[in-house]
Every structure is written in C-alpha cells, then in structure tokens.
Chain A
Amino acid sequence: MSKNRDIPPMHPASAMDFLPPAQLRDVQFTRLKDMVQRAFDHVALFRKRMDEQRLKPSDLRTLDDIVKLPFTVKTDLRDTYPFGLCASPMKEIVRFHASSGTTGKPIVVAYTQEDLNDWTRAVLRSLAACGVHNGDIVQVAYGYGLFTGGLGLHYGAEALGASVIPISGGNTDRQIMLMKDFGVTVICCTPSYFLHLIDRAGEMGVNLKELPLRIGVFGAEPWTEDMRERIEAGSDIRAYDIYGLSEIVGPGVANECTYQAGPHIFEDMFFPEIIDPKTLEPLPDGMEGELVLTTLCKRAMPMIRYRTRDITSLEPTRCACGRTLRRIKRIGRRSDDMLIIRGVNLFPSQIEAALLKVEGTLPHYQIIVDRQKDLDTLEVQVEVTPEAFSDTVSAMEHMQKRIAHSIEGITGLRPAVKLVAPRTLQRSEGKAKRVIDKRIM
C-alpha cells in the first residue's frame, strides 16, 4: 500500500487561523475583557490579587494592558484544590480532568459544555493544520481518563469527521495489529511511545513504511528535531508536534502545520506571552523565555497569565503556510525539568540529543541523580535495543563509553552509563519518566 500525500481542501474551521492581525487583536481583546470580568466576579484568589494591585477589569484599556494582570502558577491550582479556581457553578460544569501529579494531590481542571466545544474546535484545527481530514482513520493511543490526551484528541478527530479508534495507551501488540488491519492513517501518541511502536512492529514483522499510516500527531512530552528525523526515517510518516497542557485546556493549544516549522498557537483562544522567568518582564518575539498563556474563552476555569514553565520563543516571522497565528519554537525543555548537578545545569533533552548521536541507540533513557558523600552523582540508564546489542562484552562496553562520551560532550558532566534490558524503564500515560532525583526524596 502506498501513502496518500494529497493535500486536502481547507476545513472551514481553519479560517480562523488566517484572520488578519488587526482583526485577531480585536477578537482577543473582546474575549479577554469578558473573561477577566468573569474571573474577577467569581474567583476569589484572582479578585484578591487584583485588589492587592488596585486593579479592576475596567483598567484593561488595550490588549497590551494584559501585562498588568497578576500571574497564575501551578501551586495556585494545588492550593485551591479541587474547585477553588472555578468560575462556574457546578450545575454548568460537565467534565473534570486531572494531572497525573507525581506527589500529593493532583491538579484538577473543569469544563463547561461550551469549554468542551471550544476545546474540540481547537483540536479539530490542530489536526486540520497538519493535513488530517475526514476519511482518515485515526488511532488515539493517548491515555483516556483523567489525562486530557485521549479524550482531547478523540473529540477533535470525531468533529473533523475522521474515523476514530479509541484504543487508549498500552497494549502495543494490539495497537500494531489494528494499525495494520484497519489501515490506520493517523496516529496520536507520545513521541517516545511511537518509537517503541516502530521497534515492536519490526519485531512482529510489520513494516510501518509499507502501511497507509502517513501522519503522527505527537505531544505530551518535549521532543527534539533529531527525534523527529528518527521517527520519520523509521516509519515514513510525517511527524507533527501538538502542544498543550491541561491547566490551559489539554492538547490543542498549538499545533504544527504541514511546514513543520513549530506549533502555531491558536491565538484567538489562547493568548501567548514570553517572559523572563527571573525578572518576570515580557520579552519581545524571537527572544527565549518562559511561555505564559491566558485562556480567552474558558468559562469553568479561566487561566490568566499562567506560567507554563516551558522555555521557548515566539517566532518573529510569518510561516510560509500563510497562517497569521504565531508559532512557538519547538519546546525542548521546561524550566521545571532543569536539574542542577554539581553546579551544572542539565536538561533531559540534552541526554536525548546525546543518545541520538550514538549510532544504534534509541532515546529510551532515565536519569538518576543521587548524592554520595556530598557529591552529586549522575547515572543514565539506557535501554538496549536489538540493533545496538552485540554478543561481545567489549562491543557493549565500547557502546557504554561512546554514550558517556557523547553525554559529556553535550553537558560537560561525566555520567555513569548503565545498560538495561529493553522496555524496563518506567512509563506512565505513555509518557516516559525521565528523571529520578533521589536527592529530593
């Protein structure tokens, strides 16, 4: 079977992607004023912070005044658990989702029916932007449940008119069987899980390159351009980056178009800013900093200037696709993910990049940081792949050394590299758990 690469006609919902900038700003400002008023009226924490700064919703005179508003941070959601940031009464709330928070209480988000409709439209536009259309068979391999990934993609794909397989995460052999038997054309999952699917399919004698599968919509964890190349070379699909976070809505805050030049933010629904995470001052387009998002439509749980902890920049140039929506640079790291080891800053994405430079290895890894005799230790556990495995000890030790050398070259830190058996590293919701910091346990 060959891959169909025809470009579909534009979906009507995508028209908003091409709004002239002045008109877009009008839409944003109108929606922002409404939402700030709603939050001021119904969310005690927001009202308190506005009062502290002697601000009223009416002080928003132009869109640029958004920088006067107080920030919201992740701990605000924890501190007001479970419903403290809700602006709608329970009789209007029709859905909850929650984060898979690793410690203590999860982060809860709520939706009215209108919020769900908006979210569905954002995901629909995400999928349409990268060429998914009705007639496509979409396998949603994100987890269904409290996690926003599965249901988010599900409703968006259905609204687009695609045929959805709600298989959820896990059960890899079954995923591959249905992919082959149903002639799946689009897969939605985490990029690390898809790499695993490629491996496993190979072992089962299924060549993904020969299947009709042509598009992958990958997100829920940071990934690199190198990983995109690996995925595309290993499966002959086009891999697109979908961005989102449950605090804002879930997947569909931004998505790449067919030019694969960074996710376009659906700015008419989610207003982006980049700030310096230390001074909290806004930064101009093109400068790297922390992404801050404001929901412009959310009813049940409006988020005002939410600090995402994702480090990126807003691309200063217009995309070749003609969308007026700005793009964020692919997110390779989160300020949350940064580890300080022996005084050196380390991001997991650097380890991924180092592994991808060593032939035959795949970026299935876990970083274990510990402290022995007041000295930080860095261990990187790497899953052995059938391609990288050799029957001689010397070849395996040579590979260990090459990995260690590559990591040292990129990070300046010399790690202990430990080879572990395939698929033994912990994965949750299909998201790879990258870091275990025993210093804080």
Chain B
Amino acid sequence: MKIKQLSVFLENKPGALSAPCRLLAKADINIQTCSLADTREFGILRLIVEDTDRAKRLLQRNGFAVKVTEVIALEVADEPGGLAAILDALEGTGINIEYAYSLSSRIKGHALLLFRFSDPNTALQVLKDRNINTVGSEEFTKRLKG
C-alpha cells in the first residue's frame, strides 16, 4: 500500500516555508506530517495531507513547483531493533532508501516510518514476503488520530 506525498520546492531563505503552509491553512487542508530536506541553497518540503489532489492544485495555482510521489508507510515496534528488522529485510535486494522520516503512532508501542524507495513495487513485494505490514492511507490517518 502506497501513500501519496506532496513535495514542494523551496528556496533556502527566511519565510520560504511559511508561504505554502499558510496557503494550506487558509484552504483548511490539514498537514498530517511533514519533513524538510535542505541543502545550502534550496529545500524540499515533503507533506502528507488528507486531500493530496486539492493541495497540489492549490499550490500549483500559486506558482509552486510541486510533485506527487508515492511513499510507503511502515509500522515498527517501538523497541531496540525495530528499524533494523526492516533494513535486514531489504539487505541484498539492491533497493535503495532515497529518504525516510518517522512520526509517532497513537498505537502504543509502535512508531510510524515513511520510506521513499528507489523501487517501491519490488520493496512492497520484499516486505510482504517477510511479513512486514505496510500501512495504507486510511489506516495511516487512523494511526495518527488514534
């Protein structure tokens, strides 16, 4: 199960982050989670929102460079070795983790991780074979809201 993620190009300067966030706020679009990748000159804001298509149109209309990509959400045990188990599963498959970010789940004892894999479809298959459960969009929302 893949989750839609919005990426937004930002210049690395004061105020750059607030412009897209303010737009989403005005349109009553809730940001479920976000992560910010930065370089010296630019940043990439990655967002998971409830209505990806509406948010994309809104940002585009306001002149932002926006892209929708699919990421995979995994629930891992909040204990030593939780993440290592996932990485072990991918070992030797040639699948690269482009980036990942984590957030806390309302389900006690678990954490949520979002992954952008170089080859998402193969990654899904590998995880399924190892009985590692991915979290779909609806479930993802539930996990966040509790």
Contacts and interface: CB of A to CB of B under 8 A. Distances in A.
A386 B65 contact: yes
B99 A392 contact: yes
Classify the secondary structure of B's interface with A. Answer: strand
Interface stretch (B35-43, B83-91, B137-145): B35-43
Contacts of A396: 39, 42, 44
A65 interface: no
Contacts of A440: none
A26 interface: no
Interface residues of B, number: 23
Interface residues of A, number: 21
A393 B60 contact: no
Given A203-B61, A386-B60, A386-B65, A391 B42 contact: no
A204 B41 CA distance: 29
B98 interface: yes
A115 B5 CA distance: 60
Contacts of B60: 203, 386
A67 interface: no
Nearest to A385: B65
B61 A389 contact: no
Interface in A98-139: none
Contacts of B37: 393
B7 to A, nearest CB: 4
Interface in B34-55: 37, 39, 41-42, 44, 46
Given A393-B37, A396-B42, A422 B65 contact: yes
A390 interface: yes
A203 B60 CA distance: 6
B63 to A, nearest CB: 5
A389 B42 CA distance: 12
B39 A393 contact: yes
Given A203-B60, A419-B9, A391 B46 contact: yes
A390 B98 CA distance: 12
B99 A389 contact: no
A423 B63 contact: yes
B133 interface: no
B116 A391 contact: yes
A290 B99 CA distance: 54
B66 interface: yes
29 contacts: A203-B61, A384-B9, A385-B65, A386-B65, A386-B67, A388-B65, A389-B7, A390-B67, A391-B44, A391-B46, A391-B67, A391-B69, A391-B116, A392-B98, A392-B116, A393-B37, A393-B44, A393-B99, A394-B98, A396-B39, A397-B39, A419-B41, A420-B11, A421-B10, A421-B64, A421-B65, A422-B9, A422-B63, A423-B63
Interface of A: 203-204, 384-386, 388-394, 396-397, 418-424
Given A384-B42, A393-B37, A423-B63, 18 more contacts: A203-B60, A203-B61, A204-B61, A384-B65, A386-B60, A391-B46, A393-B39, A393-B44, A394-B98, A396-B39, A397-B39, A418-B41, A419-B42, A421-B9, A421-B10, A421-B64, A422-B63, A422-B64
